[in-house]
Chain A
Amino acid sequence: MDQVWTLVSFGDEGWGDEIARGTLLTVALALSTLPFGLLLGFFVALAKDSNEPSLKRAAEIFTTIFRGLPELLTLFIVFFGVQILLRQFAELFVENPTIEINSFFAGMVALGLVFSAYASEAFLSAFKGIPSGQYEGGFAVGLTRFQTMRLIILPQLIRLALPALSNLWLILLKDTALVSVIGLADILRQSGIAARVTKEAFLFFGIACLIYLVLAILSSIVLGGIERWAKRGEAAR
């Protein structure tokens, strides 16, 4: 038992600090992907909901691509593909250019693209759940389009899209495990190294498992709070 405590301790003897850093990276990556993915997803949904055919088509192509491709492939394309492209482009001007796409940034973009493709569908169904009378009411009392969106549509949209978005958040949290292939040391990569070096696979993968579960539980507590906040208007009914 003492040996186990040494293995998971923080410091030079144990892997606790490595795994903690991995956890931090996973959480940081998921949290920084979220706003990017949500925003992009929202605009893609707006485009799909619009009456402009070209915009609609573009948004549909976007969703088809990023929902269709495996996340791992998207990650490879963003990280390696784009870097190779940039390198070849730069080679036209200088010899042996050193261009490097930051792994964290690449992970964020790739996961964000996938997240937004799915989120756009969640937003779209939420948009469809808001009757056009809501917009007309807004315009009737003299609100601008932007004000109508911000004050009337968005609060309802959040409430309607939240269950689907909660799912997407949890999927995102787990998808971050893919970034180990582009050199980021997340929970899975760190515990994997620890498992292979110490030969204590069960211990370290067990720890990784617990960390993901704890993150999921924390997420549902926060999401529960947001849901109560989003439904605060309903309680008065």
Chain B
Amino acid sequence: MSRMKWMAAAVTALALTVGAAQAQEMRKIKIGTEGAYPPFNNLEADGSLVGFDVDIAKALCAEMKADCEFVTQDWDGIIPALLAGKFDAIIASMSITDERKKVIDFTNKYYNTPPAIAVPNDSKLGGVMASDLSDIRLGAQSSTTHSNYAEEKFPDADLTLYPTPDEYKMDLANGRIDAAIDDVVVLSEWLDTDDGACCRILGTLTPDMKINGEGAGIGIRQGEDELKAMFNKAIDAIRANGTYDEINKKYFAFDVFGS
């Protein structure tokens, strides 16, 4: 009996310590990001993490008075890693979609940019309507809203999916595909470099709420409503106090928040 009591006491003590540690850690948030998606989030040669997402995350953390730690994680495993508790929030330009909402929860959007179509400079394509893009070879990054958009809106196009944007860029440059679809920011960033000299933007597309969703949000585990409310409040706060605009100006010539 005494041994049982002792064990019960030990278990209680352990539970209490864990509980106390939890209370202390309330303001400690681990943020997962991809680290390979410039200009939103990418690692630099000196090992530092930079980009729009990262600056926004830092501003939100400052607003929430939270102690944030960044974890970089390959895109393909980013939702499983969140679910497994490797980090508490995904701030990695993840679009809010119904499909993803089945597995994780999102805060309100923190930006929303339209998709666009890029083509080689000498392309004869006339526009970005589905009729213009039938029977062409179209490239997109797989498992993204852009690949879903292409499948849905351009059923007649011959769609090729790539694991990363770099691959469709290379194929677009060397003529293996006729056009590529991605976010206007990603495309224009690339077109500004020497590598992007091959190509131009054909036009931006009208976002479809059903596919493109409400923009990019912060992904969190389902049921963590308190964390969600904290983030939403912080997003509103940095929108209101000008911090957001400053970060926006640092990276883009246009308003990324969208309407």
Which residues of chain A have a CB within 8 Å of any CB of chain B? 7, 11-15, 18, 76, 79-80, 83-84, 87, 93-100, 180-183, 185, 189, 192-199, 201
Contacts and interface: CB of A to CB of B under 8 A. Distances in A.
Contact of A192 (B18, B36, B44, B194): B36
How many B residues are at the interface, by size bracket? 35 or more
Contact of B165 (A18, A87, A194, A196): A196
Interface string B111-128: 000000000000000000
B161 interface: no
Contact of B74 (A15, A95, A181): A181
B72 A183 contact: yes
Given A96-B22, A183-B74, A183-B77, A193 B42 contact: yes
B46 to A, nearest CB: 4
A193 B84 contact: no
B83 interface: yes
A192 B164 contact: yes
A199 to B, nearest CB: 5
Q: Which of B44, B45, B72, B194 has the most CB of A within 10 A?
A: B45
Contact of B193 (A80, A193, A199): A199
A-B complex: 10 closest residue pairs judged by Cβ atoms: A12-B46, A181-B77, A80-B80, A83-B84, A183-B73, A196-B36, A80-B84, A193-B36, A180-B74, A94-B18
B199 to A, nearest CB: 13
Contacts of B165: 196
Contacts of B80: 76, 79-80
Contact of B77 (A7, A13, A87, A182): A182
